[in-house]
């Protein structure tokens, strides 16, 4: 494939072959090697062929092969001429990350980390086939789908100030439930307030390094050794069913002829079918916000019970990693409303944007990048440059480089637990097999991903975080 | 005859299922999917469920059929152990599928070892040669 270097850590696949715009890839030579080994670049080129795409089809530094769109893919479409695609959002709609700060330091936690982890494990349901503790009626579920984290806060899960520190205020107002199938609702009913499995986790972390003190302070992060809590999960079976149903509905409406990849099926954004998907997706986004809101509440409750207080446990932020949203962006000297798809990418809005909550508006939004299980995670700040570079987006995590199959062949869950314990990290999981599948070696080097993000200007490195205790579904 | 084979896939689960007929290959695909989550061979026919789905083509039909296995697991705790009487019928430009699924209901005695969340069209193939082969990638 014709790939030209256009800057440090920046590459371009020039327009050609039915592409409406070029594809732009942000990666170091080393990360790019990974992109060349799978279908990341082909998928980025396919996205560049979709109707109404603006400026470029982007790949973030953690890119890898996905379904239709690459993971780490960002694509913006004209609101009138462009499309919306479930493949540009992914199956786990609003898979995302929430970060809580605390007033505790490592020394407060270290001796009690086993007890703390066991208590969180009892409080937060996790693992395959595990139902939530909250019994919901369908009417309440529909309310949650429309109101997201707002519903959770009104019903005693967390604090009102959490909402302004959540992307979209914890609620996409465009949500509607009339496009959701009975199956989607049925899958959603038992799973609200559950962590799930796979790469989802909950970690008690400590601040390992601070790279920008002023911004860290604005985010509530004051010192190395300070304890934080990171929650990584999404919209569970409900989101997956919305994606599956929507792909089918679009296939039935528009057919599949002419699609190079059926996962690229799409609809004009303003068509009935496009709007139905967008509103249903927004409902799944709200479900995920409510889910993380409830889990955060339980974590605070455990800290209060075990350690005696949760006063300082303010939310730093909550970000979506899989979403499509209508946003204003500068393009060619004018402001345009675009449908921005981020699939395995994080919004990274810089200072001044109205979407950035007031306490952070002078420094840019917090960007949360989880590492793989038991490795470092990162706190970044959104930048003004990211607007021009990637419609205000950056990476979302590490990205797998090894199959689960290969990871199972090479690693043992119990051994990983012992290794982590040797480094002072407590691990508890519902499945040793799941732990082996999520071994750190099965993932890309997240340090490299963050370094490139920082150097290119997609997101500014603020702090590096390390786990103290890990709960895996 | 080998029923199915799981294949390495970086991010998720991938398998090929085989059959002398397309029906048999679809049934074996459902067992391959089940094998990613539980030991279907250990299950008896304690619970029976009938599944009916329609698709505009064979690919959509397969995705919808396999999604039913996930749906029945997540919402009814149904663990598939055997597929019986799977029938495909052309209808309009597409197909109808009906199958009787046998298995058990999730209880403490059952161990789960994986979580399949969605069935994708990625690398999905339905091939006819000496019998049928279907290839599926699932989101885990």
Residue among B56, B106, B118 whose CB faces A243 most closely = B118
Structure tokens at A123: 């409080």
Predicted confidence at residue A27, as pLDDT, reads 97
pLDDT at A198: 79
* Cβ contact, residue pair A240, B73, below 8 Å: no
Residues of B in contact with A187 (CB under 8 A): 71, 74-75
Task: Tell whether A187 lies on the interface with B, counting CB pairs under 8 A.
Answer: yes
Give the single-character DSSP code of A383.
B
User: Do B122 and A263 count as a contact with CB atoms less than 8 A apart?
Assistant: yes
| Total beta-carbon pairs less than 8 A apart between chain A and chain B | 103
Tell me A240's DSSP state: H
Q: What's the pLDDT band for A374 if we cut at 50, 70, 90?
A: confident
Q: What is the pLDDT of residue A130?
A: 74
- CB contact under 8 Å between B75 and A243, yes or no, is no
- Residue-level pLDDT at A373: 80
Residue positions counted in chain A = 473
Residue B9 has what pLDDT?
A: 79
Distance CA A404, CA A433 (A): 10
Confidence of residue A387 (pLDDT cuts 50, 70, 90): very high
- CA-based nearest residue to A350, from A326, A330, A367, A373: A367
Q: Quick: pLDDT tens for A281-292.
A: 999 999 999 999
pLDDT given at position A392? 98
Return the active site residues of A.
Answer: 396
State the pLDDT confidence band at A167, using cuts at 50, 70 and 90: very high
**pLDDT on residue B64:** 98
Q: How far apart are CA B21 and CA B132, in angstroms?
A: 6
Q: Are strands B47-55 and A315-320 parallel, antiparallel or unpaired?
A: unpaired
Domain carrying residue A448: 4-85+94-401+443-472
Average pLDDT of the residues in A205-214: 98
What is d(CA A50, CA A67) in angstroms, rounded to the nearest whole number?
15
- In whole angstroms, give the CA distance from residue A443 to residue B36: 21
Determine the pLDDT at residue A332: 86
Contact B97, B65 (CB under 8 A): yes
Nearest CA in chain B to A236: B117
Any idea which fold B14-134 has?
Archease, Possible Chaperone; Chain: A; domain 1 (3.55.10)
Q: For residue B108, is pLDDT > 80?
A: no
Output the CA torsion sign for A381, A383, A387, A388.
Answer: negative
This model of the complex carries an ipTM of 0.95
Mean pLDDT of all residues belonging to chain B:
95
In this prediction, residues A390-416 reach a mean pLDDT of: 90
pLDDT at A404: 83
pLDDT in tens, A267-284: 999 999 999 999 999 999
DSSP secondary structure, A59-111, as one string: EEEEEE--SSSPEEEEEEEETTT-EE-GGGT-SSTT-EEEEEEEEEEHHHHGG
Asked whether the predicted pLDDT for residue B88 surpasses 90, the reply is: yes
Instruction: Say which residue, A445 or A212, is predicted with more confidence.
Output: A212
| Domains held by chain A: number | 1
How far is A472 from A199, CA to CA, in rounded Å? 8
C-alpha to C-alpha distance for A185 and A170, rounded to whole angstroms:
20
Task: List chain B residues with CB under 8 Å of A406.
Answer: 8
Return d(Cα A266, Cα A243) in angstroms, integer: 12
Q: Name the β-bridge partners of B43.
A: none
| pLDDT of A306 higher than 90 | yes
pLDDT value at residue B126: 97
Predicted TM-score (pTM) of this structure = 0.96
A248 DSSP assignment: H
Burial of A4 (0-12, 13-18, 19+ CB in 10 A): exposed
| Helix/strand/coil (H/E/C) assignment for every residue in B51-110 | EEEEECCHHHHHHHHHHHHHHHHHHHCEEEEEEEEEEEEEECCEEEEEEEEEEEECCCCC
Nearest CA in chain A to B140: A198
Answer whether residue A236 is part of any domain. yes
Higher-confidence residue of A129 and B34: namely B34
Q: What percent of chain A lies above the pLDDT cut of 90?
A: 85
Average pLDDT score, chain A = 95
Tens digit of pLDDT for each residue in A47-90?
999 999 999 999 999 999 999 999 999 999 999 999 999 999 99
Q: Is residue A436 part of a domain?
A: no
Identity of the residue in B71, B106, B121 whose CB atom sits nearest the CB atom of A262: B121
Confidence band of A391 (pLDDT split at 50, 70, 90): very high
CB contact under 8 A, B115 and A263: no
What pLDDT does A197 receive?
81
Please tell me the least confidently modeled range out of A236-245, A389-398, A401-410.
A401-410
The angle formed by the CA atoms of residues A93, A74 and A267, to the nearest 5 degrees, is 65
- Cα A8 from Cα A421, distance rounded (Å): 39
Integer Cα distance of A204 and A210 in angstroms: 17
**Predicted confidence band of residue A417 (pLDDT cuts 50, 70, 90):** very high
Q: What's the CA gap between A83 and A267, in Å, rounded?
A: 5
pLDDT (0 to 100) of residue A129: 72
Whole-number Å distance between alpha carbons of A162 and A229: 14
Phi, psi of A431 (to 5 degrees): -150, 120
Lowest mean pLDDT among A160-174, A311-325, A418-432, A454-468: A418-432
The answer to whether residue A421 sits within a structural domain is no
Give pLDDT, residue A84.
98
In a domain? residue A416:
no
The per-residue pLDDT for A58 is: 98
The pLDDT assigned to A126 comes to: 83
* Mean pLDDT confidence for A228-256: 97
User: What are the residue boundaries of the structural domains of chain B, listed by start?
Assistant: 14-134
Q: How far apart are CA A269 and CA A59, in angstroms?
A: 22
Neighbouring CB atoms inside 10 A of B63's CB total: 24
Yes or no, beta carbons of A244 and B63 under 8 Å apart: yes
Of B3, A130, A4, nearest to B15 by C-alpha is B3
Q: What is the CATH number of the domain that holds A54?
A: 3.90.1860.10
* Inter-axis angle of helices A272-307 and A138-154, nearest 10: 50
Taking CA atoms, A168 is separated from A78, A142, A281, A318, in Å, by 21, 19, 14, 9
CA distance B130 to B140: 31
The verdict on a CB contact (< 8 Å) between A191 and B67 is no
Structure tokens, A186 = 């049925």
Task: Inform me whether the pLDDT recorded for B10 exceeds 80.
Answer: no
Q: Which residue of A has its CA nearest to B75?
A: A187
């Amino acid at each position: 494939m014709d790939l030209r270097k256009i800057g440090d850590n920046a590459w371009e696949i020039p327009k050609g072959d039915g592409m409406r715009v070029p594809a732009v890839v942000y990666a170091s030579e080393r990360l790019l090697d990974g992109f060349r080994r799978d279908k990341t670049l082909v998928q980025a080129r396919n996205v560049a062929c979709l109707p109404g795409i603006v400026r470029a089809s982007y790949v973030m530094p953690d890119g890898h092969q996905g379904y239709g769109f690459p993971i780490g893919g960002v694509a913006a479409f004209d609101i009138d001429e462009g499309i919306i695609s479930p493949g540009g959002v992914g199956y786990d709609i609003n898979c995302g990350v929430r970060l809580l700060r605390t007033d505790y330091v490592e020394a407060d936690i270290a001796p009690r980390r086993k007890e703390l982890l066991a208590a969180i494990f009892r409080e937060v349901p996790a693992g395959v086939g595990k139902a939530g503790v909250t019994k919901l009626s369908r009417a309440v579920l529909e309310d949650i789908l429309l109101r997201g984290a707002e519903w959770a806060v009104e019903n005693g899960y967390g604090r009102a100030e959490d909402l302004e520190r959540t992307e979209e205020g914890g609620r996409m107002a465009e949500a509607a439930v009339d496009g959701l199938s009975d199956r989607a609702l049925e899958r959603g009913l038992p799973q609200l307030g559950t962590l799930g499995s796979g790469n989802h986790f909950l970690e008690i972390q400590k601040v390992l390094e601070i790279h920008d003190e002023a911004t860290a302070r604005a985010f509530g992060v004051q010192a190395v050794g300070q304890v934080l809590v990171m929650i990584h999960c999404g919209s569970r079976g409900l989101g997956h069913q919305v994606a599956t149903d929507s792909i089918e509905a679009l296939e039935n409406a528009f057919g599949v002829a002419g699609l190079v990849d059926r996962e690229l099926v799409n609809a004009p954004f303003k068509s009935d079918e496009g709007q139905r998907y967008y509103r249903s997706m927004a409902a799944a986004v709200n479900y995920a916000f409510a889910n993380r809101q409830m889990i955060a509440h339980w974590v605070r409750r455990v800290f209060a019970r075990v350690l005696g207080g949760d006063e300082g446990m303010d939310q730093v932020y909550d970000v979506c990693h899989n979403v499509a949203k209508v946003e204003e962006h500068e393009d060619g000297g004018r402001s345009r409303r675009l449908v921005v798809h981020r699939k395995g990418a994080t919004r990274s809005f810089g200072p001044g944007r109205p979407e950035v909550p007031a306490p952070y508006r002078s420094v840019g939004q917090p960007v949360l990048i989880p590492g793989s299980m038991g490795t470092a995670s990162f706190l970044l700040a959104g930048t003004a440059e990211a607007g021009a570079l990637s419609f205000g987006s950056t990476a979302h995590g590490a990205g797998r480089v090894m199959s689960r199959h290969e990871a199972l062949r090479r690693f043992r869950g119990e051994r990983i637990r012992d290794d982590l314990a040797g480094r002072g990290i407590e691990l508890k999981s519902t499945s040793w097999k799941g732990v082996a599948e999520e071994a750190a070696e099965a993932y890309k080097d997240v340090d490299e991903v963050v370094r490139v993000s920082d150097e290119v200007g997609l997101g500014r490195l603020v702090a590096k975080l390390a786990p103290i205790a890990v709960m895996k579904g | 005859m080998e029923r199915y084979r799981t294949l390495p896939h970086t991010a998720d689960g991938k398998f090929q299922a085989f059959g002398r007929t397309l029906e048999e290959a679809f049934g074996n695909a459902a067992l391959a999917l089940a094998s990613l989550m539980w030991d279907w061979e250990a299950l008896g026919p304690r619970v029976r469920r009938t599944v009916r789905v329609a698709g505009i083509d064979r690919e959509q039909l397969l995705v919808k059929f396999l999604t039913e296995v996930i749906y029945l697991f997540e919402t009814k705790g149904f663990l598939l152990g055997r597929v019986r009487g799977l029938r495909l019928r052309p209808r309009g430009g597409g197909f109808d599928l009906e199958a009787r699924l046998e298995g058990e209901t999730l209880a403490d005695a059952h161990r789960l070892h994986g979580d399949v969340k969605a069935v994708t069209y990625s690398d999905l193939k339905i091939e006819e040669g000496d019998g049928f082969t279907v290839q599926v990638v699932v989101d885990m």
